[in-house]
Amino acid sequence: MVIQPAHTEESCQASASVEAVRMFGRSDVREMHRILLYFQSLADLSREMNPATQIRRTLDSAVAAMVEAFGLNRAVLLAVHDSGESLLAAAGRGVSLDDLPPLMLAASARQELVRKPRPIPFRLLPVDCTALLEDVAGSPAADRRMAIPLVTGGELVGLFLFDSACDRNARASASNDLLCGMCQNLAVYLYNQVVLSRLTEQRRELDQLAGAIKELYRQAVMAFLAAIDIKDGYTKEHSLRVAQMAAVLAQEMRFTPHEVEGMYFAGLLHDIGKILVDREILTKSGALDLTEYAAMSAHTRFGAEILSHIQFPWEHLAYTILHHHDRPAYDEFSPRQPRRNLDLSHKIIGLVDAFDAMSSNRPYRRALPFKACLDELVNGLSVQFDPEMTREFLRAMLRDLERPPIQRRLLTDRFVRGDEKIVRQQITDALLRVEQYMGIITAY
């Protein structure tokens, strides 16, 4: 018994070199190796997400190399389009691509071509596409017109049509093997582009669906706010402002776009529980007694219970609404302690909620001056506000001042009523006090 040696990569390359010498002669071997390496690189290129213009140039260069290497008279590369029911001219040599109509293929024809990924004479092609292929290929003798189905993953992704400049000779079998190998690389390249196109389309559809769902959420939230507005005209506009400021602060803190959207909806919904609070308590012009204060404070729990029955795409909403009035101590605060963004959500809402409330007219008092609001933020660092969050909020205000008034997202005309230099100095002074406070705590 004769034991055959294993086919290593080196032995396969040596065999390919010998075969290339036998087919083309030594003078052409180096050029053939260059072409083979070029087509081998198509497998690597197919992993990239190339723009349409680059794809077209790659395919055109590939067809040109094949025409030159195999002495083809003309060639056309057809690539699958849409659902696979049609093939469009993607590259060619010796033909005008603009004059080529789409090639329609029935399911039976596609299946037959998938089963024959080898050079097929035109006369043996499926009946429903032979006439079009005859028109595409031109009018040389019938035995020179061939088609190679480009198949990968059990799917037809294209068709390579060509006719030789001369009759096929004794070297045709080996030549066809090399040509089929190059076509297989083209098939992999086209297949990956097809998959990428499908994924892009699916992503576009999912994005549209997600946008539609978020719009439904927004409409539902606005319906809730309209219901609250009937009981308390302040809450709706207050919630819109809190949502805007919370989203801006989340962006400044490098939250992801999905988290920023969640912060916006948390701002809209943070007072949703007030729909279950008596109107007399919401609109009372004087101080609340202990019973009324307890009823008002329950709105965070009511809101969390309402939202817990709704499947929002932001899982932290109910948690944020429940805890946005918490008053934690920060004796052990350290700016170097890592914290997840979602853990900060209720602190963001609590901060901007308080700031908007201080700077707005309420039934029991008028809006505080801007500097007084800043002083309240600084004075509440030890019991109410997160120092790091307050620092980010003040820094965001300073950056907001750099924008033209029409583009500002935090400091609207409600806050900037006079000399902007005075406003800037007030914010800078407050920021300095916050950083000094953080430094004292961090030193411990």
**Boundary (domain end) residue, out of 199, 219, 245:** 199
Query: Quick one: 281 and 398 in the same domain?
Result: yes
The verdict on residue 209 lying in a domain is no
Query: Quick one: 281 and 430 in the same domain?
Result: yes
Query: Quick one: 290 and 372 in the same domain?
Result: yes
- Strand-pairing partners, residue 47, are none
The verdict on residue 225 lying in a domain is no
The verdict on residue 113 lying in a domain is yes
Query: Quick one: 262 and 149 in the same domain?
Result: no
Which stretches of 165-259 are assigned E, i.e. beta strand?
Answer: none
pLDDT value for 333: 41
Q: Does pTM top 0.75 for this prediction? A: no
Query: Quick one: 242 and 391 in the same domain?
Result: yes
The total of structural domains in the chain comes to 2
| Structure token digits, residue 322 | 């429940």
Cα–Cα distance measured from residue 102 to residue 146, given in angstroms and rounded to the nearest whole number: 19
Q: Using CA atoms of 335, 338, 341, 347 in order, give the dihedral in degrees to the nearest 10.
A: -40
Say how far residue 354 (Cα) sits from the centre of its chain.
Answer: 35
Cβ atoms of 410 and 397 closer than 8 Å: yes
At residue 254, the 3 state secondary structure works out as coil
At residue 381, the 3 state secondary structure works out as coil
Query: Quick one: 150 and 243 in the same domain?
Result: no
Query: Quick one: 53 and 173 in the same domain?
Result: yes
**Boundary (domain end) residue, out of 199, 220, 243:** 199
Residue 134: domain span? 9-199
The CA distances from residue 139 to 135, 193, 361, 408, in Å, are 8, 32, 86, 69
pLDDT value for 432: 92
CB contact set of 257 (below 8 Å; sequence gap of 6+): none
Which helix (H) or strand (E) is 77 found in, with range? Answer: strand 72-81
Query: Quick one: 181 and 266 in the same domain?
Result: no
The verdict on residue 213 lying in a domain is no
Query: Quick one: 259 and 144 in the same domain?
Result: no
Query: Quick one: 57 and 185 in the same domain?
Result: yes
CATH number at 310 reads 1.10.3210.10
Burial pattern 296-333, b for ≥16 Cβ within 10 A else e, equals: beebbebbbebbeeeebebebbbbbbbbbbeeeebeeb
The verdict on residue 120 lying in a domain is yes
CATH number at 39 reads 3.30.450.40
- Spatial strand order in the sheet of 86-93: 103-104, 86-93, 72-81, 155-164, 145-152, 120-121
Cα–Cα distance measured from residue 93 to residue 170, given in angstroms and rounded to the nearest whole number: 25
- Which of 161, 152, 232 shows the shortest CA–CA distance to 192? 152
The verdict on residue 342 lying in a domain is yes
- Which of 317, 344, 385, 354 shows the shortest CA–CA distance to 255? 344
The verdict on residue 43 lying in a domain is yes
The verdict on residue 220 lying in a domain is no
Please report, in tens digits, the pLDDT of each residue of the chain (444 residues total). Answer: 444 444 444 444 444 444 444 444 444 555 555 555 555 555 444 444 455 667 778 888 888 888 888 888 888 888 887 666 788 888 888 777 777 777 887 888 888 888 877 888 877 777 555 544 454 444 444 457 788 888 888 888 888 888 776 555 444 566 777 788 888 888 888 888 777 877 888 888 888 888 888 888 888 888 888 888 888 888 888 999 999 999 999 998 889 998 999 999 999 999 999 989 888 888 888 888 899 989 999 999 999 998 888 888 887 888 889 888 887 554 344 343 444 444 688 889 999 999 999 998 887 788 899 999 999 999 998 778 888 889 999 999 999 888 888 888 887 777 777 778 888 999 999 999 999 988 865 443
**Boundary (domain end) residue, out of 179, 199, 219:** 199
Cα–Cα distance measured from residue 324 to residue 266, given in angstroms and rounded to the nearest whole number: 10
Rounded to 5, what percent of the chain is helix, strand, coil? Answer: 65, 10, 30
Query: Quick one: 33 and 182 in the same domain?
Result: yes
Cα–Cα distance measured from residue 444 to residue 441, given in angstroms and rounded to the nearest whole number: 6
Say how far residue 227 (Cα) sits from the centre of its chain.
Answer: 36
Query: Quick one: 19 and 61 in the same domain?
Result: yes
The CA distances from residue 56 to 61, 89, 271, 343, 397, in Å, are 9, 10, 56, 49, 49
